[in-house]
Amino acid sequence: MTEELRPELQALRERLLRTQDEYRAEARTRRHAAGYRTARENLRDLVDDDSFQEYGQLAVAAQRTRRDYLELQSSTAGDGIITGTATINAAQVGMQAARAAVVINDYAVLAGTQGFFHHRKLDRLCELAEQHRLPVVMFTEGGGGRPGDTDVLTHIAGLHVESFATWARLAGRVPRIAVNNGYCFAGNAALFGCADFTIATRSSWIGMAGPAMIEGGGLGKVAATDIGPLEEQLKNGVVDIPADNEAHATALARQLLGYFQGPVREWSCVDQSALRAAVPDDRRWAYPVRKVIETLADSGSFLELRRVYGRSIITGFIRLEGLPVALIANDCQQLGGAVDAESAEKAARFLGVCDAFGLPVLSLTDTPGFMVGPASERQAAVRRMSSLFTTGARLQVPVVAVFLRKGYGLGAMAMTGGSFLAPVYAAAWPTGEFGGMGLEGAVRLGYRKELEAVKDPAEREQLFEQLLAKMYEAGKATEAASFLEIDAVIDPADTRAEVLRALRTAGICPSPGVFGPAAP
C-alpha cells in the first residue's frame, strides 16, 4: 500500500525538484550542447556517494518584485550557487579526514553571476569551513557581480558584501582549491585567484573584468575569448594545473585535496635501482629530473604545479609509502637548474602554503646557484630570490634535502630552507658536488692570473681543465660529508628509505591525516 504524502511534504518535494537538472531540462541541454556539464553533474562527480548535505537549496535570486516567483524557483535555483558539506576520498583516507566543504557556481543561472543570496550562501559556507576546519573545493565559473537584484533596497553600490573577505580569511587555515571551466570574470576571478591552488580546463577564460566592464571602462570592445585564455594564465602562474575538461579537472581536484587529507593505505613503487643511472657520467649533461621524481615517488602519485611558470624549479606533491610529501626540485634542463627570480618566488609561495598545512618537504637539489646578470636584476631578483630565504627560515615542517648533483652558492642554500643545516637530513648522491659558486666560474675567477699567463690557447684550456678537475675532487660529495657540510652520501637506490627514515626522526610517518584521524 502506497503511503499518501501530506500536502506540505508533497509541496516540498515539488519545490526541491525545481532545483534539479531533471526539471531544468532546457538549461541542461544548453550546457551539454556547449560540451560542458551541469553544476550538479560536477557536484556528483566530486563528492562521495550519498555524502553531500546541501545548504540554501531553496534560495532564489532577489528579483521577486520583477519576475514570477514560480519561474525564479527553477531559472534562478539556489541563486546560482550550490553550497554544502560532504566527504571526498573517504575510501582512501577515512571518513574523518575526508570531510570537506563544496561550492559549485552554476553558470546556467544568470551566467553564474553573484547576487545577494548567492553571497549569503557563500559566506555561510566559508564560516562553517573556518569553524570546523573543512578544506574547500570551489568551482568558479561565472560572470561576477549581478546588477539586477531589485529586491535589495539596502544596497547602493553593493560593496559591503563580506564574501571576498571570508574566502580570503581561510588562507593558511584550510586548503582552498579553485576549479574553473568556461568564463570566470570579475568577482568570480577574484575568488579563483585567492585560492591556494587553481585548476582550469582548456576551455577557460579568466580575467578581473569581462567584456562589458572593459567596454564600460572605455577600453573598447573585446571578445570574451580574448580575455585570460588558459595558455596565458599558465605562463603567468595564475593557473597551477591545466585540465582537459571538467571530468579531468574534478579528478585532479580530488587528487590534489588528497595530499592534505593524510596517508593512504595502498601504494606501490618501481624498482629503485634505476636511480643509480639517472645522472649522466658527464657532469655537463642535463637529464630529465621528472623521471627521477616519478621513480622515487609512489607510482602515479606525482602531481606537478605551475609547470610552465618558473620552470627551473619544479613544485608539486608526491607520496612515499602512502605518505603525502611536498616536493621542490631543480630542473637542470631549464637554465641549467639555476634559480631565477620567477622560480624562486614560485617555490617560496608553494612552501609557505604547504607549511601552513603541515606537509613535510623534500628538496631534490641540483643547481649552480642563483641566476645572475643584468637581465636577472631587471626581474627584481634581489627581492624575489630573497623570498626563498624568508620562507625557508619560517618553515615549521621538516625538510629533507637530497643533492642529486650540483649544490652551489646561495641558490643551493635557498633550496634547503636557507642553510644546509636547516634540513632534518641533508644527503647527497655520489654524483654530488659542492662549492661557493659554479666550478667553472670559480676557476676562471680564482685562477685568472695563472690562466692569463699562459699564452697558448690550447695550453690555457688544458690548465683550465686540470684546475677544474682539482676543484671538483675537493668539492665531491664524499669530501663535503667528511667536513660535515652534509650529513651523508647515499646510494641513489636507497633514497626512498633514507627520506622516510629522516621524516620518522622528525615525527612524520603514515598516521592520522591533517584534518583528523583516519578510520581504522
Helix/strand/coil (H/E/C) assignment for every residue in 149-160 = CCCCCCCCCCCC
Q: What's the average model confidence in pLDDT over 14-27?
A: 92
Percentage of the chain exceeding pLDDT 90: 73
452-485 as b/e: b if 16+ CB within 10 A: eeeeeeeeeeebbeebbeebeeebbbebbbeeeb
Euclidean distance between CA atoms 229 and 209, whole angstroms? 13
Q: What is the pLDDT of residue 217?
A: 84
**Using CB atoms within 10 A of its CB, is residue 290 exposed (0-12), middle (13-18) or buried (19+)?**
middle
Inter-axis angle of helices 246-258 and 39-46, nearest 10: 40
Euclidean distance between CA atoms 319 and 267, whole angstroms? 9
| Structure confidence at residue 1 as a pLDDT band (50, 70, 90) | low
Cell numbers 667553472 correspond to what residue? 440
Q: What is the pLDDT of residue 519?
A: 33
Superfamily of domain 272-432+476-505, CATH level 4: 2-enoyl-CoA Hydratase; Chain A, domain 1 (3.90.226.10)
State the amino acid at position 338 in one-letter form.
A
Q: Is the dihedral of CA 443, 445, 446, 452 positive or negative?
A: positive
Choose the weakest-confidence range: 27-31, 159-163, 290-294, 405-409. Answer: 159-163
Cell numbers 601552513 correspond to what residue? 356
Radius of gyration of the chain (CA): 27
Q: What is the pLDDT of residue 513?
A: 43
CATH 3.90.226.10 matches 10-258: yes
**Using CB atoms within 10 A of its CB, is residue 269 exposed (0-12), middle (13-18) or buried (19+)?**
middle
Task: Write out the three cell numbers for 413.
Answer: 642554500
Q: What's the average model confidence in pLDDT over 89-98?
A: 95
Residue 116 has pLDDT above 90, yes or no: no
Inter-axis angle of helices 381-394 and 341-356, nearest 10: 20
Residue 361 has pLDDT above 50, yes or no: yes
* More confident of the two residues 298 and 75: 298
Choose the weakest-confidence range: 108-112, 174-178, 275-279, 484-488. Answer: 108-112
Q: What are phi and psi of 490, to 5 degrees?
A: -125, 155
Q: What's the average model confidence in pLDDT over 258-279?
A: 96
Residue 515 has pLDDT above 50, yes or no: no
Within 8 A by CB and 6+ apart from 381, the residues are: 340, 341, 370, 371, 372
Euclidean distance between CA atoms 499 and 201, whole angstroms? 35
Cell numbers 561576477 correspond to what residue? 144
Percentage of the chain exceeding pLDDT 70: 94
Within 8 A by CB and 6+ apart from 354, the residues are: 326, 361, 397
272-432+476-505 has the same fold as 10-258: yes
**Using CB atoms within 10 A of its CB, is residue 491 exposed (0-12), middle (13-18) or buried (19+)?**
middle
| Structure confidence at residue 182 as a pLDDT band (50, 70, 90) | very high
Mean residue pLDDT across the chain = 91
Within 8 A by CB and 6+ apart from 338, the residues are: 312, 367, 368, 369, 370, 371, 411
SS3 506: coil
Q: What is the pLDDT of residue 219?
A: 84
Choose the weakest-confidence range: 1-5, 29-33, 497-501. Answer: 1-5
| Structure confidence at residue 437 as a pLDDT band (50, 70, 90) | low
Residue 516 has pLDDT above 70, yes or no: no
Residue 32 has pLDDT above 70, yes or no: yes
Task: Write out the three cell numbers for 409.
Answer: 652558492
Euclidean distance between CA atoms 296 and 330, whole angstroms? 15
Name the residue ranges covered by the structural domains of the chain.
10-258, 272-432+476-505
Q: What is the pLDDT of residue 34?
A: 94
Q: What is the pLDDT of residue 75?
A: 86
Please name which of 377, 383, 380, 367 lies closest in space to residue 434, comparing C-alpha atoms: 367
Beta pairing, strands 399-408 & 313-320: unpaired
Beta-ladder partners of 115: none
**Using CB atoms within 10 A of its CB, is residue 433 exposed (0-12), middle (13-18) or buried (19+)?**
buried
